[in-house]
Amino acid sequence: MSWSGVRSGLDLLRRLPRVSLANLRPNPGAKKKEKRRGRGIHGGKKSGRGHKGQTQRGNRPRLGFEGGQTPFYIVIPKYGYNKGHSNRRQYQPLSLNRLQYLIDLGRVDPCEPIDLTQLVNARGVTIQPLKRDYGIQLVEEGADNFAAKINIEVQWASELSIAAIERNGGTIITGFYDPRSLDVLCKPVPFFLRGQPIPKRMLPPEELVPYYMDAQNRGYLADPAKVQKERLILAKKYGYILPDISKDVMYSMLTMRKDPLQIFFGLAPGWVVNLPEKKILKPSDEELCRYYRDEL
């Protein structure tokens, strides 16, 4: 651009008015003048409040008052299935159809173990620990069309969804995460930027221990030998041949598991991940190491 063009552009900017709060105006017709209500005896009738009564005088009853009759919330009894509803755990559903869709798009890498971090980053599910979300449940919708070989960790899974994954040579495990660990797992980058050590995962509450120790549910606290037997039983039940994953080239990936106290794959509790410097700091104090190994 020539110097004359630059000068003409600068002159134009000098002549144009500057945008400020003093000269900002809404578009014509964008704002409608508010209707001015009457002022009672001073040039109006009822000021838009009607004739007499509580509504006009401004002494309306409280919310839930029904004029003296027994209100709705007292008439209806307390049913048993509503007991403890505010503390009930919720698991966001993830169908096999949706999981296959994420794999086909390349959002989820089937060559790596899949946990909540991958699924949340791929926008497959939305987990809100503050709203009593405790993870995801894998549902069987799309079981006939699922064809990926994966190693996935979920919090709840149906029998048919387990069979659909193991039929293709994959593995599945169900694991429990307490709310703090779940928040760290779903949002790892903000947690690492705070410079805090990775916490250890808490064990499940007493009522969930039988579920996660059951080999039929592929619980992370179950005996591996019993899990292998249940894999064979499930294959006979649904009539498919169970692939031998010991001869698979991805055997190390398919058998990768987390420790019951571990949150991330490859990162132990107590480690500090320094993202700006790309370093991992490990505790050296023996008592601290024993705490994170749960030996105290």
pLDDT tens per residue across span 44-98: 677 777 888 888 888 888 888 998 999 998 888 877 766 777 788 899 999 999 9
CA angle 203, 112, 170 (to 5 degrees): 80
Q: Look at 10-24, 64-78, 127-141, 244-258 and tell me which has the smallest mean pLDDT.
A: 10-24
Of the ranges 81-95, 105-119, 249-263, which one carries the lowest mean pLDDT score? 81-95
pLDDT tens per residue across span 201-232:
999 999 999 999 999 999 999 999 999 999 99
The residue behind tokens 């006979």 is 236
pTM for this prediction: 0.71
CA atoms within 13 A on the CB side of 80: 0
pLDDT for the residue 225: 92
- Which pLDDT value is given to residue 70? 94
pLDDT at 43 over 60: no
CB-count exposure of residue 102 (10 Å: 0-12, 13-18, 19+): buried
Q: DSSP labels for the chain?
A: --HHHHHHHHHHHHHSPPP-TTT--PPTTSS-PPPPPP-TTTT-SSTTS-SSHHHHHT-PPPTT--TTSPPHHHHS---GGGTTGGG--EEEEEEHHHHHHHHHHTSS-TTS-B-HHHHHHTTS----GGGTEEEEEEE-TTTTT-----EEEESEE-HHHHHHHHHTT-EEEE----HHHHHHHH-HHHHHHTTPPPPPPPPPPGGGHHHHT-GGGTBTTS-HHHHHHHHHHHHHHHT-PPP-GGGSTTHHHHT----TT--BTTB-TT-EEETTTTEEE----HHHHHHHTT--
